[in-house]
Structures are given as structure tokens and as C-alpha cells.
Chains A and B, each alone.
Chain A
Amino acid sequence: MAHKKNRKEYGELCVPETTFVDYKNLPLIKQYVSIHGRIKPRYYTKVPMVLQKRLARAIKQARFMGLIPFVK
């Protein structure tokens, strides 16, 4: 059960009343990107699988729109 204790809270990542991670939420997204601009793997983020996938999608959308770099 240790790994479950280490998990982050669910709600703070999502838009309220949804389980949707917004690509416009740059302060949040930047926390899940390494200093070189890569998506942090799940064993660092401790985020549930569903959210990790949404997070990855949000990061990719933000990259596409030139909000965060692909590579630093």
C-alpha cells in the first residue's frame, strides 16, 4: 500500500467537476515536465494512470501550440 500513500491528490490536476487536464494550465503542466522539456515518467509524478495519460496529452497539446518547448 505504500505506493498508494505516495500518490498525489486527484482533484488539483483537473478542471473542476471534470477529469480533464487543461493544456492552458501552464503553471501546472510545467511541474510535470523535466528541465529539458520531457514528460516526467509516472514513477516520479505518482499520478494515477488515467491522469498521467491526460497529463501527457495536455503537455503535447501545449507543445503543439507553442506554449512550452519540445526541447530546451
Chain B
Amino acid sequence: MATKAKASKKAAHDDLESMDGDDESTRRYELMAIIDPDVTEAQYKKHYEELKKLVTQHGAVIDFEEEWGKRELAYPIKKRKHGFYVIFNFDGDSAQVPELEAQLRITNFVIRHLIIKLPKGYAPQKYELDAELPRIEDRLEQRNERRGTRRPGNRRPRAGSGAPRESVKPVETKSAEIKPTETSKKEAPAKVTKKEAAPEVVKADSEKELKKLDKKLEALLSSDDDLNL
């Protein structure tokens, strides 16, 4: 275990060095920008090309580009609730990136942008962005499958605790259903007369209320008409 942890720490350290301490002036970057959504498609394409030009003007070689299209933002940015997401991966000159960033800040159609350094060996990935999270039970099952070599005694109680809950719930609901029926059987003969009497009163009340409401509605409608005139 210890050796593994050490190895992973070493790997992480190497990676950090590659991210921060490289002497070379060129480095891989990723630019993500959100383009103003209040434009037509033709305008959007224009903006996209302009953005691409801007990146290439600053001594960058784009090797990957991706458009996510119009997406809903998690919170409004500059009073916009949507945005066109655009991603560029490029080899850039580290001296020119701040300038590019400054230019991006000025451009009107970019409502937000982010430039990050990419580590060595990064390959563009595709993610299912709006995929729903798997349920916790499914995740537990997956984990158990992955750790199939583990001794069965260790994890059983935890994995089993999910299943009994499921079995318990229906029982509870059943008992809840059954109980009222039993009580109703017992109390039914005594309460019948009361129950019959009560609904009639309620019905009468409800009818009165309905009539009142109808009158009110009519009055309102007529007044609306007057207002419209």
C-alpha cells in the first residue's frame, strides 16, 4: 500500500512540475468562452470565426475545437440565462497568453472566458454533460462489482443494509393501509349516521360558495369589459 501511495504522489509531483515549472515557452492551453446568446446563427458563426482568428493571431496553433451549442447557464451572467459554449485547445506562447486574455476581456460578444494550462499527455475528452447521476444503490453495486476480489465478510452488512430497507418500506405501507380498514370496520356502524348528515351540510355550503363565486366572477368579467372599453 505504502509503495503505491508513494508512486502516485511521485506521479502527481511530476505532473505538477509539468504544469508549472516548464522552461519551454510554448505550452498547451485550453480556452473556453461563452458567446452572447442574443444573436442569430449567422452572427454566432461570425463571432466564432472572429474568436478563432483572435486566438491564432496570438501565436497559437489550434489543434482541437469544440462547440457545445446553446446551453442554459447555472446562474445568470451579465443578465443572460443562456450561452454558446466554445472550446479551443491550442499550443500557445506563454508570453502572449496574457495579451490574449486582455483582448478577450475587451471583446463584447464574449460574456465569460477561461484559459487553463493543460498537463502533458492530455487528450480531448467527450463527456455526457447532462447525464443524470446514477442512484446511490447502483453506484454501490458498481463498486462492489469492481471490488469483487474482496473477502465477502467485510462489506456484506453495508451492502445488505440497502436491500432490507426496500423490503421494509412496502410492509410499512401495507400495514398503514390495513389499519384504517380495520378501524373503519369497527367504528363504521356507530359513525354512519353522523357521516351521512355531515356531507349534506358541506354540500349545501359548497353550493352556496359556488354560487357566490359565480356571481363574483360575472361581476369581475363585466367590470373587465368596462375597463377594456
Residues of A within 8 A of B (CB): 1, 4, 9-10, 15-20, 22-27, 30-31, 48, 50-51, 61, 63-70
> Which residues of chain B in 1-29 are interfacial with respect to chain A, using CB atoms and an 8 Å cutoff?
1, 5, 8-9, 11-12, 15, 19
Contact B77 A66 (CB under 8 A): yes
Q: Across the interface, which residues of A come within 8 angstroms of B74, CB to CB?
A: 63, 66-70
Tell me the minimal C-beta distance from A29 to chain B in angstroms.
Answer: 10
Given contact pairs A17-B123, A20-B119, A26-B130, enumerate 16 new A-B contacts (beta carbons under 8 Å): A15-B122, A18-B120, A19-B8, A19-B12, A19-B15, A20-B15, A20-B19, A26-B127, A26-B131, A27-B128, A31-B133, A64-B114, A65-B85, A65-B114, A66-B77, A69-B75
Nearest B-chain residue to A25, judged by Cβ = B127
Contact B122 A65 (CB under 8 A): no
8 contacts between A and B (CB under 8 A): A10-B8, A18-B122, A24-B127, A25-B127, A27-B128, A61-B116, A65-B114, A66-B34
Interface residues on B, range: 20 to 34
Residues of B within 8 A of A (CB): 1, 5, 8-9, 11-12, 15, 19, 32, 34, 73-75, 77, 83, 85, 87, 112, 114, 116, 118-123, 125, 127-131, 133, 146
Q: Across the interface, which residues of A come within 8 angstroms of B85, CB to CB?
A: 65
Nearest B-chain residue to A22, judged by Cβ = B125
Q: Across the interface, which residues of B come within 8 angstroms of A51, CB to CB?
A: 12
A1-B125 in contact given A65-B32, A70-B75 (Cβ < 8 Å):
no
Contact B119 A18 (CB under 8 A): yes
Contact A15 B133 (CB under 8 A): no
Nearest A-chain residue to B139, judged by Cβ = A31
Nearest B-chain residue to A58, judged by Cβ = B116
| Cα distance A68–B121 in the bound complex, in angstroms | 27
A48-B8 in contact given A19-B119, A20-B119 (Cβ < 8 Å):
yes
Tell me the minimal C-beta distance from A62 to chain B in angstroms.
Answer: 9
Nearest A-chain residue to B146, judged by Cβ = A9
5 nearest interchain CB pairs? A66-B73, A69-B74, A17-B121, A50-B12, A20-B119
